[in-house]
Structure formats: C-alpha cells, structure tokens
A = this chain, B = another copy of it.
Amino acid sequence: MKFSFKNDYSEGCHPNILQALLQYNSDQQAGYGEDEYSLQAKKLIKDKINHQNAEVFFVSGGTQANLIVISSILKPYQCVISAATGHILNNETGAIEATGHKILNIETEDGKLRSSDIIPVLGNHRNIPHQVMPKMVYISNSTELGTIYTSGELEELSLFCRQNSLYLFMDGARMGQGLTSEISDLTLEKVAELTDIFYLGGTKNGALIGEAIVISNQILQEDFAFNIKQKGALLAKGRLLGIQFLELMKDDLYFDLARHANRQAMKIKNVLKERGVRFLSDTYTNQIFPILCHDLIETLSEKFEFYVWKKIDDEFSAVRLITSWNTGDDAVDEFIEMIKNKI
C-alpha cells in the first residue's frame, strides 16, 4: 500500500480523542451542544483568544461552516468577496450561491487578499440598486495555496474592511497550520481581534469532524444557533464535537499537531530546495508544491500518492504534497531518500 500525501484528512483522529470518547461514552448528557464537554471546550477557546464575549459554535465541516456563516450574515442582496482560489469558489458545489449569495472573485498570485485588490471591486459595484452590494471579505489562513497572512497584512486588511463596512471572515480549515508556520507572526488572539468571525478547523488537524466557529463581533452573534439548526448542522449528540475540541484545546494539542504537520512538510521542502528544485509557491505550512520532472514524478508515484497539480511544460509539473498531524518520520524519510537518490 502506498503512503498518501494527498491530503491531511486520510487518517482517523488523534488517540486522545478516541480515549476521551471511550471515557465519557456512558455519561448521559444534554443534546444539541448543551453537553458539558461542549461548554468546557467553548470556554477553553474563549480563554485562548482572551475574549469572553465571543461566541463559539461547533459544526461538522468546512463547507458547512462557510455556508452557515455567509448566509447568516449577508442580506439577500449582499455578496462576499473572495480570492479566486478561495475554497468557496470552486470546491463547494455552489454551496454559497445555493443560499442565494453571489461571490465576487479576485485573481491573486498567492491566494491572499489585500485592500488594493478589493478597492477596484468596490469601485465597480456602485450602480445601485442594479448590482449586488459587497458586504463581506472571505479569506483563508493558511490559504488553499499553503500561504499565510502576516500580522501586518491582516491588520491592513482588517482596518480597510472596518473603514468600508465590510465584515471580515477567516476560513481557518487550516488555522493551526497557518499560525504555527515558522514564518507566522500571527496569534489566535490577534485573529479574533482583527476579524469579525473565523473558524478553527478540526477535520484537517486531527479531529474526526469538527470546525469551531468563533464570532468576535457581537452584532453577528444574535440568533446564530437558529442558522445552524436550519442548515441541518446541529448534531443531536453535540458531545462528539465538544469532546474533540476539548481534547484538541487542552495543553495546546491543536497547535502541536499542526506544528508537526508543518515540520514534516518543511523537511521535504528543505531537501528539495537544497537540490535546486523550484516551487510553484513559497509555502511554510503543510502544503508544498515542488516542480518536478515527469520521470521523478513517475518514480515517486510507485511508492507514494499525491496530486499532480499543474503541468509546467513537457518536462516538468508541479505536484502537491500535504503532510498531516499523523504523517510519520518513516514516510517522510523514505520520500526524502528517494529524492536524494534521484536528484
């Protein structure tokens, strides 16, 4: 069986989570997120962002989080702005539009948005009432290209959004990986301060399912639970989400797992770099996009699974390698070994 670098959700979950599920299994608990594990996990998250007036809600996955957040905040005629690589654009089967909202997309090099990207979009949407009204900016950290926001970049964008009455929403499906990147100077507390709403992804960082939506902006908190229920996202056994986030948040396990995933990717990246391999984008998280010759890709494919991301020319293609909280040293070492033998 080949080892897979295709994504960060191909294994189960961190053993601590299974242990906790076993331990608490027979306890009778209130349903629909009112169980004590959920309440404790929410408390831990509020402590971590140092914002006791924030509200935390757990849902199952990223698409679900995105569609609930966006549809609950926007009025029918308002739209969301996203980088063209944004997950909501092409990877969610039109989930956002299915709730009635247009996405305005912006082509960017690195998957990140800056105020200079957004200004022309606002300028082109002033034919009232014949055009949708931009009201929210959607960003991801780390992005779908593995890149991250610096503290300065997020501050700039946040200020711009506030000045322009735009809500700032950060998709954190890979928030752990983003914040623990060796070049990140951003903290979770800062994220909570600079955005109106964001989520902490569990699915891609060691949980079975689960994203924790955190609403810092109190205006957006009102009645949010109704939206979760209406979209079919309120689990009867909310304990499943509560227990997972309780374990992930304890002792910063969440960040340790992400740091591990990043480290494994960086090991491979560094070896490739030493050997002069180019990359599609310069990433410091658990996704890397080396440009390899087709021969090497074929050889690696005999032992490993990964996506061939983009054809560069007749000789080279970029591949995408993703490591996870569970990617062991064996797999990484074997991969590196093969490279060393070949380049």
Which chain A residues have a beta carbon within 8 Å of chain B's beta carbons? 1, 3-4, 7, 9-13, 15, 18, 21-22, 24-32, 59-68, 71-72, 75-77, 79, 90-95, 97-102, 124, 127-133, 203-204, 208-209, 223, 225-237, 239-240, 326
Contact = CB atoms under 8 A, between A and B. Distances in A.
Instruction: From A68, A93, A132, name the one whose CB has the most chain B CB atoms within 10 angstroms.
Output: A93
A223 B91 CA distance: 16
Contact of A64 (B1, B68, B94, B232): B232
B131 A90 contact: yes
Contacts of A223: 75, 77, 129, 133
Contacts of A102: 94, 97
Q: How many copies does the complex hold?
A: 4
Nearest to A18: B22
A30 B307 CA distance: 13
B204 A236 contact: yes
Nearest to A15: B25
A18 B26 CA distance: 12
Given A22-B18, A223-B77, A230-B77, A203 B93 contact: no
A130 B25 CA distance: 25
Contacts of A10: 28-31
Nearest to A7: B31
Contacts of A60: 60, 209, 232-233, 235
A72 B78 CA distance: 12
A124 B91 CA distance: 11
A129 B226 contact: yes
A229 B9 contact: no
B237 A203 contact: yes
Contacts of A228: 129
A54 to B, nearest CB: 19
B9 A232 contact: no
A231 to B, nearest CB: 7
A130 B18 contact: no
A100 B98 CA distance: 4
A227 B77 contact: yes
